[in-house]
Amino acid sequence: MPRITVDGVELEVPAGRTILQALDDAGLLMNGVDIPHYCWHPKLSIDGSCRLCQVEVEGAPKLQIACNTPVQDGMVIRTASEQVRTAREGVMELLLVNHPLDCPICDQAGECKLQDYAFEYGVTQSRTREPRRALKKHVALGPTIVFDQERCILCRRCVRFCREIPQTGELAVIGRGDRSVIETFPGAPLENDYSMNVADICPVGALTTRDFRFKIRSWFLQDVPGVCTGCARGCNISLSVANNKVYRYLPRRNDAVNDTWICDAGRDSYREIGARDRLKHASVRGENGVLETVSTDFAIQEAARRLARIAAAKGAGVIAGIASPHATNEDLFTFRRLLEALGAETRGVAVVRGASDALLVVEEKAANAAGARAIGFGDAAAVLDRLRSGAVDALIALGHDIAHEQFLGGTQGLEKLDTVVVLDSHVSELQRVAHVLVPTRVAAEKHGTLTNCAGRVQRVRAAVEPAWEAHGEGEILARLGAALGLGGFDGRFDVREVGKALSASLPAFEGIDLETVGAAGRPLATAGASG
């Protein structure tokens, strides 16, 4: 491996990489070694057009662009010399010749690299008096992206993204010289399934998403690391939160999962957190056959009473459990322990399947289907068979996927059950047959881990709090176990303790818990293993 010296510090870097790539690999780029850049992106081809990343390489006759200069053994690089500083000032001055200086009204203010670099590396005042060129404003490039052409600095990241990642190629540079602009091809609007990523990689305020544009200033937002729950890929995201509300999802870099991208459908799924059809009250079906609002404690006690009565009369074999592939590993482990302590042997997980692609989107439309299987919940077919044969009298259902057309196709087979206990976050058809209904939290409202389709366990955190009483499935099940008087249940649910118990109990999760999973996640100890 070549050894290079950067600003007096010797580093060992991989061969065949450019200076920027080598520093990015080492985690030092803009994190100890500041080399500003616009056109370069770690997951796109090298363009070399902005010239802002120039550095001094000992022995070279002139400054070199760090994005396209391969490292060589013994290379000595200076990133902060007077010559480099002067070159950066010149580049920034040229970029700002036609750029509108109206940061206070720009939606990108506060997270704009042109704003940041102008402050760090730019000149203090403009030397031009000519009016800036006027270009198009508020152009709809497609259903998701709005373009302010006058703000564009022609870094061409968006063009390369469309050509190289979704490979749809809707964008191009039209014109020459100072007349060059970004445009869509005639009859080809920007509407691929990953279109909103161009707003993420745009270093200025030229490309913004119609969904987030002018909703809130970025400096009011707090970014909480999390996982997209739209499918089993488990793309890493940042949840932008203010006023106890999630305003957007942004992709968070994880080279082992989603690089730096996220599909548009997954990005838009943040709306499910604050959706109007969230369940907000616990309910119990009264003597008149109508669901009546009750406290969560009362609902849990009623569920325990009904389950205990059935188990005493017919045995626990007539009780079945359907797990939710949207619940955390800790929730599902608690569910497994409850069913085992109760003596209910019929259990499964209902995983809805849908469209997929060759980039990120996978067929399973749930974030923790792999985790459910690894914890011991098999396919829902076994539960469905017993339901249809009349061998089940009581069902504990987490979520409502069992009612999807790929499984029951509604509530058929559930109307005649003695007891249906539903723990769910959103309104569904199961309300029509539920005897006990308890609202739960979604992944963005609780701590825990999820296991993606590749068997990588990743952490989620509570970014917001529901405005009504709702608890995680694990907490409700722990309280239900205590109400049933089951051994090992005292009504408490500590997610860290449960995670450690899961790690100690199942070989697949050995050495993996909330404390050890890390920011990038950890693969299951035995991929695909189940309990």
pLDDT at 286 over 90: yes
Quickly count: other Cβ atoms within 10 Å of residue 515's Cβ: 11
- Are 149 and 88 within one domain? no
Kindly give, in sequence order, each residue whose CB lies less than 8 Å from that of residue 473, ignoring residues fewer than 6 positions away: 324, 327, 328, 331, 332, 334, 335, 398, 423, 440
Q: Is residue 262 part of a domain?
A: no
pLDDT at 131: 85
**Mean pLDDT computed over every residue of the chain:** 96
Query: What is the percentage of the chain residues whose pLDDT exceeds 70?
Result: 99
- Are 72 and 148 within one domain? no
pLDDT at 530 over 80: no
The pLDDT tens digits of the residues spanning 174-215 come to 999 888 999 999 999 999 999 999 999 999 999 999 999 999
Q: What are the two backbone dihedrals, phi and then psi, of residue 429, each rounded to the nearest 5 degrees? A: -65, -25
Number of domains in the chain: 3
Pairing of strands 3-6, 76-78: parallel
What CATH number has the domain bearing residue 315? 3.40.50.740
Q: Which of 29, 79, 75, 31 is nearest to 54 (CA)?
A: 79
pLDDT at 527: 55
- Are 346 and 427 within one domain? yes
The pLDDT tens digits of the residues spanning 210-254 come to 999 999 999 999 999 999 999 999 999 999 999 999 999 999 999
Q: How far apart are CA 490 and CA 341, in angstroms?
A: 13
Q: How confident is the model at residue 133 (pLDDT cuts 50, 70, 90)?
A: confident
How many Cα atoms sit within 13 Å of 350 on the Cβ side? Answer: 19
pLDDT at 529: 43
Q: Over range 93-97, report the average pLDDT.
A: 92
| Ordered strands of the 448-451 beta sheet | 448-451, 456-460, 522-523
Q: Over range 12-30, report the average pLDDT.
A: 96
The pLDDT tens digits of the residues spanning 308-333 come to 999 999 999 999 999 999 999 999 99
Q: Is residue 234 part of a domain?
A: no
What CATH number has the domain bearing residue 205? 3.30.70.20
The pLDDT tens digits of the residues spanning 407-427 come to 999 998 899 999 999 999 999
Q: Over range 483-493, report the average pLDDT.
A: 97
pLDDT at 528 over 60: no
- Are 136 and 87 within one domain? no
Q: Is residue 247 part of a domain?
A: no
- Are 41 and 134 within one domain? no
Quickly count: other Cβ atoms within 10 Å of residue 211's Cβ: 17
Q: In terms of residue numbers, what domain contains 36?
A: 3-95
Q: How far apart are CA 317 and CA 360, in angstroms?
A: 41
**Quick one: tokens of 317?**
């074999």
- Are 478 and 407 within one domain? yes
Angle at 470 between CA 464 and CA 476, to 5 degrees: 125
Q: Over range 24-45, report the average pLDDT.
A: 97
pLDDT at 470: 97
The pLDDT tens digits of the residues spanning 449-466 come to 999 999 999 999 999 999
Signed CA dihedral, 386, 392, 396, 397: sign only: positive
pLDDT at 531: 38
pLDDT at 134: 87
Q: How far apart are CA 369 and CA 452, in angstroms?
A: 7
pLDDT at 122: 87
What CATH number has the domain bearing residue 48? 3.10.20.740
Q: What are the two backbone dihedrals, phi and then psi, of residue 98, each rounded to the nearest 5 degrees? A: -110, 0
Signed CA dihedral, 442, 443, 448, 454: sign only: positive
How many Cα atoms sit within 13 Å of 220 on the Cβ side? Answer: 12
For residue 202, give the DSSP letter.
Answer: -
Q: Over range 260-283, report the average pLDDT.
A: 97
The pLDDT tens digits of the residues spanning 42-83 come to 999 999 999 999 999 999 999 999 999 999 999 999 999 999
Q: How far apart are CA 503 and CA 498, in angstroms?
A: 9
- Are 150 and 62 within one domain? no
